[in-house]
Structure 1
């Protein structure tokens, strides 16, 4: 019997379930329960062995030992409520409610069976069953390698880590940041190129890192510097894989530059943050490409593995690197074209719009007969993305897009 406390519409907004049919959602209603938990209630992490739970209302914290790992609060990050309370692999002991909280729990077995039955092979991490049932030995080998820790995840560039640490320190001065950047001649050159580009230039050219930081500000300089250093992640020894990495980077740069313009046009999110998220939107393909060097794979098989696993692998990688939650969500959900039609605009909406604009400009297949069906465009206040008026936004910024692509490439 369907649960009267939750609707099919609510289920369809949840990340692991958004691609399921209405019939599947109807079946899951019968396997769900909604509990109201008082403030201070503890929920052991081992509950995820039986249930996939989501916060509907209220606020919770994930705890490991004496440390707060994450605070889940819809007023801070509404998109987090679409993700399971406990993710597979999270090293937490329990969750505790900060105030009265409504919690939706769906029988884990029912979720896995629904995902497997409809062939959603691994776009979401709801347990090994959701991927291992895909009829592809290669795909299963990739997933098991990731689960077993045999798929080596690339490290974040050391200089990017140092710059991020400085950016997070309120005591950081212009000189502190300049000293770190100047250690890397390539980064220095590209940062000066960025500061003098059409996207950021002022009334006169800058010739030093100090002048660039003065023009851009500490926060923007740090964000740009991290974006520039990320090119080092897209590297490989094998000539064939190196070519694939370069193509992947070029696509990422195009989406990144477009995301910057879309964010600036919509005026709802920081364009520099969108630029970095755009660069990372396919970063999950990097460890997959590197792992494929040890396997005998066809091009089609590799494309399948990247399409299926890249969002999940990218999310794992960015969490390990300590990226902001909204960037992780943009990577994990950036291909869920119909996501969140009724929730506020977020970073993922900008990445979706940027990706589809890039597809449109390059005559690649689109996920809908008309892009006006995609909620992200409506939420961002963009016109019909296939009309001259919509593309005019990008054409007007053509010089800036070209300059961004130049200093990132």
Structure 2
């Protein structure tokens, strides 16, 4: 059915048979149920078409009903630079998802009159990608669980009358977390000459909010380091890079005075948390895949799945947004927290053989100018070099 419908779809109508074949290699279909919601901001990597059923398209408070098979359904659900619309399935049906990057490369090749090489996912990787995406939307994909100490602390801090004694009792449930908090409270970065030995004193010195952020960071470390995984080395490198991005995010947030540094630190640590269930799924079904193979899959899925993890963990909406969008295309309406982490990801240098590198040059990010940061002649941020000692201390604190 998809092969027959593809030449009728408006963006693809003028492409040749060979281009259609490439698009089909990287396409998938998904059965939808009433109530399923798709956000344009999450689907920027795809061109999505309604094949069967009905959906309600909403944008800026205006809604229209789209029917599969209608002339309107030959256009994508969301436009290229649409990050605000959403679609809700009004009936059972089916949608088709095409890889936007493949389409853009085909268009570029057609304009330049050159052959477009085979890119992105192989057939096996495409099959894996489709399976993960479908299971994520259906709720069948296993998401990482936050350690109990973090869950209990999150719940307790929702009480405006919570006190240090109660927080201390919760943290004492996890001796390793308690020991790390004591270490941080006594670190030179806290600027105190008096060493504390009681956990309650450490919590008092750190404050409830920073204690919460640190417990979340330490819990995230426990989630990332899965020693039984065949991809343990990949997870270790991913965590080390996340710790470095977190430290840079914290320093840049402090310099910008527009973002809470501790919140930026937490988002930096968790911005790739969506990679965890994806890597787990690959380990379960295709444990022989390389880190480079996995990274191509992560590129498409980790923002969406990271948001699912953040929702399950009860994180704030601005943190969820930053996890979801900091790796996507830059938008003028992005929240400052999202942009700070986006800048940190681009500023973070390659770590040896680390394949997990964000390649958007800083000079191409408008957010750099919006925050008033200045680049040197090499396109780097001198502000990071001047804060190198602080960044290294933060990395030791959380890694």
Distance 1:315 1:213 in 2: 29
Distance 1:176 1:150 in 2: 36
Contact map agreement 2:150 2:216 (CA 8 A) in 1: yes
| Residue 41 of structure 2 is aligned to residue 15 of structure 1 | yes
1:207–1:56 CA distance, 2 compared to 1 (3 A): farther
Q: Please give the per-residue CA displacement for 1:257-295, whole angstroms capped at 9, x wherever unaligned.
A: 111111111111111111111111100110111111222
Contact map agreement 1:345 1:380 (CA 8 A) in 2: no
* C-alpha displacement of 1:49: 4.3
| Residue 307 of structure 2 is aligned to residue 322 of structure 1 | no
TM-score after normalising by structure 1: 0.67
- Where 2:60 maps in the other structure, the secondary structure is strand
**Structure 1 stretches of 4+ moved >4 Å:** 16-20, 85-88, 108-117, 360-366, 385-388
Structure 1 residues 358-397: aligned runs within 5 Å: 358-359=348-349, 367-368=359-360, 370-384=361-375, 391-397=381-387
Aligned residue-pair number: 317
1:118 aligned residue = 103
Structure number, greater radius of gyration: 2
1:51–1:251 CA distance, 2 compared to 1 (3 A): same
Contact map agreement 2:241 2:351 (CA 8 A) in 1: no
1:263 aligned residue = 253
1:51–1:256 CA distance, 2 compared to 1 (3 A): same
Contact map agreement 1:235 1:245 (CA 8 A) in 2: yes
- Where 1:168 maps in the other structure, the secondary structure is coil
Match for residue 284 of structure 2 among 274, 282, 294: 294
Structure 1 residues 174-253: aligned runs within 5 Å: 174-236=164-226, 238-253=228-243
Contact map agreement 2:56 2:88 (CA 8 A) in 1: no
| Residue 80 of structure 2 is aligned to residue 54 of structure 1 | no
1:137–1:119 CA distance, 2 compared to 1 (3 A): farther
2:153 aligned residue = 163
- Where 2:374 maps in the other structure, the secondary structure is coil
- Where 2:225 maps in the other structure, the secondary structure is coil
| Residue 199 of structure 2 is aligned to residue 173 of structure 1 | no
* C-alpha displacement of 1:250: 1.0
* C-alpha displacement of 1:252: 1.1
Contact map agreement 1:16 1:83 (CA 8 A) in 2: no
Distance 1:56 1:349 in 2: 26
Structure 1 residues 20-31: aligned runs within 5 Å: none
| Residue 384 of structure 2 is aligned to residue 399 of structure 1 | no
| Residue 362 of structure 2 is aligned to residue 336 of structure 1 | no
* C-alpha displacement of 1:135: 8.1
Contact map agreement 1:281 1:330 (CA 8 A) in 2: yes
TM-score after normalising by structure 2: 0.68
* C-alpha displacement of 1:238: 3.1
2:132 aligned residue = 142
Q: Please give the per-residue CA displacement for 1:380-401, whole angstroms capped at 9, x wherever unaligned.
A: 221116658x633223322222
1:246–1:166 CA distance, 2 compared to 1 (3 A): same
- Where 1:240 maps in the other structure, the secondary structure is coil
Distance 2:283 2:293 in 1: 13
Structure 1 residues 32-111: aligned runs within 5 Å: 49-55=54-60, 82-85=83-86
- Where 1:359 maps in the other structure, the secondary structure is coil
Distance 1:401 1:49 in 2: 51
| Residue 296 of structure 2 is aligned to residue 307 of structure 1 | no
Q: Please give the per-residue CA displacement for 1:313-336, whole angstroms capped at 9, x wherever unaligned.
A: 111111122211111111111122
Contact map agreement 1:157 1:229 (CA 8 A) in 2: yes
Distance 2:226 2:376 in 1: 36
1:347–1:386 CA distance, 2 compared to 1 (3 A): farther
* C-alpha displacement of 1:195: 2.0
- Where 1:294 maps in the other structure, the secondary structure is helix
Distance 2:223 2:125 in 1: 31
1:234–1:117 CA distance, 2 compared to 1 (3 A): closer
**Tell me, which stretches of 5 or more residues in structure 1 are unaligned?**
1-13, 32-47, 58-80, 94-107, 121-130
